Amino acid sequence: MEIKCDRLRINYGDTVVIDDFNTGFPSREINVIIGNSGSGKSTLLRTVAALNDPTSGTIYYDNQPHHKLSTRVIRSKIGMIFQKPTLFEGTVYENLRFGLEQQNRRVDDQEIESILRQVGIPTSYLSKKGNELSVGEQQRICIVRSLLPSPDLFLLDEPTSALDPHNSNKVLRLIKSVKTDFDKTIIMVSHDTRESLSIADNVFLLSQGKIIFSGDKEELERAQQVRGSHLSKFMRGDYE
Ligand SMILES: Nc1ncnc2c1ncn2[C@@H]1O[C@H](COP(=O)(O)OP(=O)(O)OP(=O)(O)O)[C@@H](O)[C@H]1O
Ligand SMILES: [Mg+2]
């Protein structure tokens, strides 16, 4: 699903968090937004997920403006993953079934097992409790739980920042497979530049609610050379 933001503005009270934001996120690609703490990354994702309302401007979901779609319809097209895994008490199987029941989707157990195998999670995990799994495994189950109702778009809010490098790599590989094997669109926010660039198709640099760069990795490379210290500093995490 293609997402376009047109003159999007998001305020909290008098504070402008996202300002005159005009950016498109191409369909079926991994779009990575990099920005420092407080730059508005989570606010933007939550608004695209219809968890917040924009103050003004329009978000287009495959060319349909947000005000023409119900919140329920928008949410049914989206899988959202947060920094920390959000499994509730109960078994992995119960967690996976929960998302489907919420959306009245019928998926049989064989399909659940087949998706688990496809993403490299043993089916024996179905009977485990969430707290018997590592945080990285829990995060992968959360991604599978979002995948099962078959949303078009995945919004991931720093999905690897609570993980060690080994688990982080596994989650990144799964995110890549969500795009390539399941044909989904991904918007992921991160402040780990190196890690998120490893899987990015398109990169968006967000500073104080505005996009200061967008392009693919080669364009980013070239822009860093041309624009010199400003973007290089940003990419090192040394930015305002
Ligand atoms: N519910 C809220 N009410 C008021 N202000 C908020 C609220 N949520 C966030 N903000 C403010 O909006 C700004 C952007 O916050 P946001 O959480 O979107 O940043 P972020 O880029 O996700 O940061 P981080 O990398 O730390 O997660 C911050 O200044 C924050 O204090
Ligand atoms: Mg955030």
pLDDT digits (tens, 9 = 90+) for 171-220: 999 999 999 999 999 999 987 788 889 999 999 999 989 999 999 999 99
Task: Tell me the whole-structure pTM to 2 decimals.
Answer: 0.94
Q: Atom 24, ligand 1: which residue's CA is nearest? A: 37
pLDDT at 85: 94
Q: State the distance from the centre of ligand 2 to the C-alpha of 172, rounded, in angstroms.
A: 18
Give the orientation angle of helix 109-118 with respect to helix 135-147, to 10 degrees.
130
Q: How confident is the model at residue 66 (pLDDT cuts 50, 70, 90)?
A: very high
Mean pLDDT computed over every residue of the chain: 92
pLDDT at 148: 93
Instruction: Name the percent of the chain in helix, strand, coil, to the closest 5.
Output: 40, 25, 30
- Does 239 have pLDDT greater than 80? no
* Mean pLDDT, range 54-58, rounded to an integer: 97
78-137, pLDDT tens digit by residue? 999 999 999 999 999 999 998 888 778 888 999 999 999 988 899 999 999 999 999 999
- Does 240 have pLDDT greater than 60? no
Q: What is the rounded CA–CA span in Å between residue 178 and residue 30?
A: 10
Q: State the distance from the centre of ligand 2 to the C-alpha of 17, rounded, in angstroms.
A: 12
Q: Which two tokens stand for residue 192?
A: 């780990």
Task: List strands edge to edge, sheet with 202-207.
Answer: 78-81, 153-157, 185-190, 30-35, 202-207, 210-216
Q: Atom 12, ligand 1: which residue's CA is nearest? A: 17
pLDDT at 14: 94
Q: State the distance from the centre of ligand 1 to the C-alpha of 52, rounded, in angstroms.
A: 12
Q: Atom 25, ligand 1: which residue's CA is nearest? A: 37
Q: Give the lowest-confidence range in 39-43, 134-138, 224-228, 235-239.
A: 235-239
What are the C-alpha distances in Å from 8 to residues 1, 47, 71, 172?
A: 18, 10, 17, 29
Helix or strand run (H / E) with residue 168: helix 165-180
* Mean pLDDT, range 23-43, rounded to an integer: 95
C-beta separation of 52 from 10 below 8 A? yes
pLDDT at 228: 66
* Pocket around ligand 1 at a 6 A CB cut-off: 12, 17, 35, 37-43, 191
Residue appearing with tokens 């991160």: 190
Q: How confident is the model at residue 231 (pLDDT cuts 50, 70, 90)?
A: confident
Is domain 3-235 in CATH 2.40.50.40, yes or no? Answer: no
* Mean pLDDT, range 153-178, rounded to an integer: 94
